[in-house]
Amino acid sequence: MLNGQVTLVTGASRGIGHATAVAFVKAGAKVIIAARRGSALENIAGQIASLNGVCLPVQVDVTEETSVRQLVERAIAHFGRIDVLVNNAGAIVYGPAERATLEDWDTVIGTNLKGSFLCAREIIPIMARQGGGHIINVASQAGLNGFPNLGIYCASKFGLIGLSKSLGRELLPSKIRVSYICPGWVDTGLLAIFPQKMVTQASKASPEHIAQQILRLAMIKPGTSSRGTLLHRIARVLKRGLGSASSDTYSSF
C-alpha cells in the first residue's frame, strides 16, 4: 500500500490518468490531479472525495515551463512532498508524414516529451531532498516500434523511453527510481483519431488495467545489485505491436 505517499498524475482528466489517480487513492496515496481541463478535474476531485480520498486538482499546461513550475509549487505548498510522479499527459496525431504540420509536431512532442521532461526536472530536486522518489513515464508500444502514420507520436515516445533510461542511471545516487510503461491499444478517447475499422479489430486494454500496472510499479521496493550498479527489472508480456493490448514495462531502480 501507499499510505500517506503523495503522487502527482498529469493528464488526469480522462483515460489512463483518471484511472491511475483513482487507483492510487484506493491504495492509500494522496494525489495531485493535473490536466488542462479544470472543470473535468473538479468532477474527478468530487469522485475521489466520495472515496474518502485526498486530492488536489491543479490546472496545468505541461508544455509551458511556468505552468509546470506553478503546479509543483502548489503541490509542495499543499502536501509538502511528492513521492511519485506519473507523467501521463499525452497528445497524438495520425496521418501521413507529408501532411503533418509544424503545429502537429510541436503539440505532440511538446506534450509527450517536453512536458514529461519539464515535470521531471522540477520534481527531481524535491525528491532528492526527500531521499528518494519514483518517476513513472507512460510511453507506448509506439516507443518500441515504428508504426506508419504515427511518425511524430513514435518520435515522442521513443524519446520518452530514452529520457527514462538516461534519468534512471543519472538519478541512481539520489535514490530516485525511473520507470516507463508501454501500453498497446487502450480504450480511451484518443482512439477517435484512428480509422474505425482499425479500432474495431484491435485488442484493447482498459484504462483501469494500465492504471493497475502503474500502481504495481510504484509499489515495487527499490534495490540494487551486489556491486551497487543499476538493477534493471524488465517485465515483458508478449509483444504484438500496436495491435495488441499487451504492454512492455521497464523499471530501473
Q: Which grid cell is 105?
A: 509536431
CA distance 179 to 138: 9
C-alpha cell belonging to residue 87: 507523467
253 near 231, Cβ under 8 Å?
A: yes
CB of 83 within 8 A of CB of 130?
yes
Q: Report the distance separating Cα 142 and Cα 193, nearest Å.
A: 15
Q: Which residues lie closer than 8 Å to 228 by C-beta, 6 or more apart?
A: none
**Spatial distance between the Cα atoms of 9 and 84, rounded to a whole number of angstroms:** 8
Q: How far apart are CA 177 and CA 167, in angstroms?
A: 8
Query: Would residue 94 show up in a list of annotated catalytic residues for this protein?
Result: no
* Helix/strand/coil for 136: strand
Neighbours of 228 (CB within 10 A): 8
Determine the Cα–Cα distance for residues 82 and 80; give it in Å rounded to an integer: 7
Residue from 94, 153, 180, 250 carrying the catalytic annotation: 153
Distance between CA atoms of 109 and 143, rounded to whole angstroms? 13
| Residues classed as catalytic | 153
